[in-house]
Structure 1
Amino acid sequence: MNTAPMRRSSTPLGRILAIARKEFLHVRRDAVLPRLIVLLPVVMLLLFGYALNTNVKNIKLGVVDLSHDRISERILKNFASDERFALYPQTDLPSALEAARAGKVRAILEIPAGAMSAARRQEPVPYTIYVDGSDPTFAAQIRAAAAAATQDNMAALGAVRAATGTLSMPVNPTFQTLYNPDNRSAVYMVPGLSGLILTLICVMLTALAIVREREIGTIESLIATTVRPSEVVIGKLLPYFAFGTLDAALVLGIGHWLFNVPLVGHLWLLVLAALLFVLGSLGLGLLISTVTRTQPQAMFATIAIIIPSIFLSGFLLPLEGLNRFFFALSAIVPLKYYLQAVRGIMLRGAGLSDLQTAFIGLTVFALATLLLASLRFKKTL
């Protein structure tokens, strides 16, 4: 290190400026860090500015029409004309509830038989809306959207008000909450926090640990022995796999016992989802370590992956609020599939057949990151 500028400076301010100049030159000579410092906040701003949208659209609404008359057709037409809903016809209520358990629909509209008869008797036309309450915030938006659609139904069916001037409404909706009737936010947030915590620990620790060893030269010393690169990769990942598995058990276990998060589905399925996500996150951390040379680079790269994952995975905001581009982009976010699997298993009791897409995504994530990281690790040693 060149200390001549600091020796020539005789005042505290001069020495401080000399150190600051040296640090600035150190950052400028870094091949990656200056680009990350400038581009990362711009990309984040553009990403969140376009991606974040609390006004959800295309809510998957399962429809059970047991009346099949002009009144029920009018009600369904009003829901279909509302861009906030996408209608999915169901044969009966049990099949609709099964679709909700599998995550195929987020709410159910059931119109009982006799809607036309009730209208002719100048009685309120009843229907029931079942709302997936596993996400309390999203459930509130569904109720608000359904209430707005109800007002439209009232206007459309206003002709059947009683001639006597009665104040009874022409429609009489009933709301029922599925899976989380108490609307507790912990039921939704704790499974999501488990994914975020695992991402932070597995990705960041793996990336930083290997980059640190490369900086101090211990990796090269290890490769100079008879140890093979593949053995180095496996040996490096095993301790962090143990740590990640332990953290997954701690977070999910404490969330279940302390915050009363239910476990409706099978425990072995929950364990499988956590193990696949831990493996994939470790591989991602190792992959980051192969494309970065310093710890600050690895830190910035990890942040650049984690922060978009928070908003494109459904961790805080429903994916239904994303526009088409960012909804398609969310397909490559591993945290999305982990949250779908864990929330489906713990809150709705979904099985493996219901979560095929989520488990396929987690499996591809784990295999792809581990394979790419192993190939690049051998080339960069």
Structure 2
Amino acid sequence: MMSRFWPMFRKEFVQMRRDRLTLGIMIGIPVVQLLLFGYAIQTDVRNLATVVLDQSRTPESRDVIAAFQNTGNFRIVAHVDDRPALDRAIARGDAQAGIIVPYDYPRRLGRGTTATLQVIVDAGDPLASQAAISAAAGVAQVRNLAILSHATGRASVPVEVRVRPRYNPGLRSPNYIVPGLVGVILTITMVLITAMAIVRERERGTLEQLIVTPITKTELMLGKIAPYVGVGLIQMTAVLALGRFVFDVPLTGNVLLLYTIALIFVVASLALGLFISTLVRTQQQAMQVSFFFVLPNILLSGFMFPRQAMPEVFQWMGLLLPLTHFLKVLRGILLKGVGLEALWQEVLVLAGFAALMIVLSVRRFRKTLPRHADPIRLAFLPPRERSLDLGEEILRSQHLRMRERDDAGRHTRQLTGAEIGEGVARQHQAETLDELPAARAIRLGQDERELVAAIAGHEVRRADFALHHRADLGEHPVPRLLAQPLVDVPQPVDVEDHDREAQ
């Protein structure tokens, strides 16, 4: 197996090395994507643009407004004089929140009654509005505790809840986003690369050359995947290095374990792309199907949104995606420092998914040309460069029509492809290559008798007839145009005896 696998691996590697632009894009684009998304995607919403309507204009009102601003969630951008102006600012999008301090706010505080403040939040963005609501509730809680403690004369509160955030004490978004970006970028690039592998060979016309080689389907699929495994690991290394030195993402776990599991995930993603390539016929279809798979990976894997907040049916759907399990591996090793004892289930799922995709890709791929392949091109290929189904027609009437004319050029009629070689085609049956002695010498037909070719003599006669017949079409008028009458038409004449020559 290895003696036939390495030539396939070398062929794919050479092809990848020749396309240096694509190779540079595969390495460079993940780096650019990480820099863009690492800075742009933030889960902790802060500095919401806020307008203030301070109807009291007292030290107490200014004090509570400063308390809102000190949380970091509110950024005061303007002060307005009336309620309609505040509403217009929020409606136009100039502000996402508004704070209203009523006239009687200091008077109610002095009397010991409940003083009210109103915070208006633009809930069109649920994430931003939830952050604003939580910050406003926190301001109110702190102010209430301070007032109650002062009123009762107690220096401490009766109950105190101490929260200790682990693995990400500063609640930094890059610590959560960057590991997820590693998996998302690998998924996008690896699936897209191999999704176009088979269809690219088909569109370039080189699939026939792969079909007639003695390599098995399994070796061909693995040869398509193998060179890009290294590309995936290089991408991962570049992204992790940027995450560590640019975004200060911790790396607390075993790096060797991370790369081992990442290798399985890369193979799974490449195998998925290869399976997609066996389903489609064009590169455009391959790209569309790939993006159809990529979007659920982003939405259902837990990269952006917590899976616990999804309906249960979508949580089960998310478990079918390899990215869901790889994200757990990444965040577990990078942030928590866990080992294989906590991740063995994810490893088994990824390995099973990779094996399943490879098996499905091998079973879907057929080492035969499709029936709708170009019959003219197939007819002129050498016999050992074709693999045809038993009923495959080389020349079809809708693809080949020829003109037949006699030497004098007076009679003309059309010949269809079905008529070419008629009678000859019915005399021969297709044979598997492993039944031919020459095929055994070159070790063809070893993949379960799947390489099928017609009898060489039959095919050569059909192709030879088609070529020569077309060539003769242009040669028939030539003698008629070049030949000049040298003598008149013979006529009987009378010859006297004395004029005759002696014999």
TM-score by length of 1: 0.56
Greater RCO (Cα-Cα under 8 Å, separation 6 or more): 1
**Which whole-Å deviations, capped at 9, do the CAs of 1:225-267 have from their partners, x for residues lacking one?**
3333222222211211121122122222322233221111111
| CA gap 1:164/1:257 in 2 versus in 1, 3 angstroms | closer
What residue number does 1:323 align with? 311
Matched, 1:347 2:340: no
Matched, 1:258 2:282: no
Distance of 1:233 and 1:334 partners within structure 2: 20
Matched, 1:337 2:325: yes
Distance of 2:158 and 2:231 partners within structure 1: 60
User: Pick from 301, 309, 315: which aligns with 2:297?
Assistant: 309
**Which whole-Å deviations, capped at 9, do the CAs of 1:327-380 have from their partners, x for residues lacking one?**
111110110000000110000111111112222221112111112112212467
Distance of 1:179 and 1:340 partners within structure 2: 14
Q: How many residues align?
A: 235
What residue number does 1:228 align with? 216
Q: Which stretches in structure 1 are left out of the alignment for 5+ residues?
A: 1-53, 55-136, 155-160
**Which whole-Å deviations, capped at 9, do the CAs of 1:100-128 have from their partners, x for residues lacking one?**
xxxxxxxxxxxxxxxxxxxxxxxxxxxxx
What residue number does 2:230 align with? 242
User: Pick from 333, 349, 365: which aligns with 1:377?
Assistant: 365
Distance of 1:190 and 1:261 partners within structure 2: 8
| CA gap 1:163/1:352 in 2 versus in 1, 3 angstroms | same
Q: CA deviation at 1:166?
A: 5.3
Matched, 1:363 2:347: no
Higher helix proportion: 1
What residue number does 1:292 align with? 280
Q: What are the residue-to-residue correspondences of 1:152-163 with 2, within 5 Å?
A: none
Q: CA deviation at 1:169?
A: 4.3
Letter in 1 for 2:295: I
Cα contact 1:290–1:380 (8 A) shared by 2? no
What residue number does 1:217 align with? 205
**More off after superposition, 162-171 vs 228-237:** 162-171
Identity %: 44
Cα contact 1:198–1:247 (8 A) shared by 2? yes
TM-score by length of 2: 0.43
**Which whole-Å deviations, capped at 9, do the CAs of 1:26-54 have from their partners, x for residues lacking one?**
xxxxxxxxxxxxxxxxxxxxxxxxxxxx9
What residue number does 2:184 align with? 196
**Which whole-Å deviations, capped at 9, do the CAs of 1:252-303 have from their partners, x for residues lacking one?**
2322233221111111111112101100001000000011111111011000
Distance of 1:351 and 1:207 partners within structure 2: 33
Letter in 2 for 1:347: L
**Which whole-Å deviations, capped at 9, do the CAs of 1:6-41 have from their partners, x for residues lacking one?**
xxxxxxxxxxxxxxxxxxxxxxxxxxxxxxxxxxxx
Distance of 2:247 and 2:368 partners within structure 1: 45
Structure number with greater Rg is 2
| CA gap 1:337/1:235 in 2 versus in 1, 3 angstroms | same
Distance of 2:316 and 2:157 partners within structure 1: 42
What is the CA RMSD across the aligned residues, in angstroms?
3.2
What residue number does 2:257 align with? 269
What residue number does 1:122 align with? none
What residue number does 1:283 align with? 271
Cα contact 1:273–1:342 (8 A) shared by 2? no
Letter in 2 for 1:366: A
User: Pick from 189, 195, 202: which aligns with 1:207?
Assistant: 195
Letter in 1 for 2:329: A
Letter in 1 for 2:206: T
Letter in 2 for 1:328: W
Q: What are the residue-to-residue correspondences of 1:61-140 with 2, within 5 Å?
A: none
| CA gap 1:215/1:366 in 2 versus in 1, 3 angstroms | same
Matched, 1:182 2:170: yes
SS of corresponding position for 1:354: helix
Cα contact 2:217–2:367 (8 A) shared by 1? no
**More off after superposition, 360-369 vs 253-262:** 253-262
What residue number does 1:59 align with? none
**Which whole-Å deviations, capped at 9, do the CAs of 1:175-233 have from their partners, x for residues lacking one?**
22211122221111111111111111111011113211112221122212333322222
Letter in 2 for 1:308: P
Distance of 1:335 and 1:364 partners within structure 2: 14
**Which whole-Å deviations, capped at 9, do the CAs of 1:290-327 have from their partners, x for residues lacking one?**
11111111011000000011011110111111011111
**Which whole-Å deviations, capped at 9, do the CAs of 1:77-112 have from their partners, x for residues lacking one?**
xxxxxxxxxxxxxxxxxxxxxxxxxxxxxxxxxxxx
Cα contact 2:211–2:367 (8 A) shared by 1? no
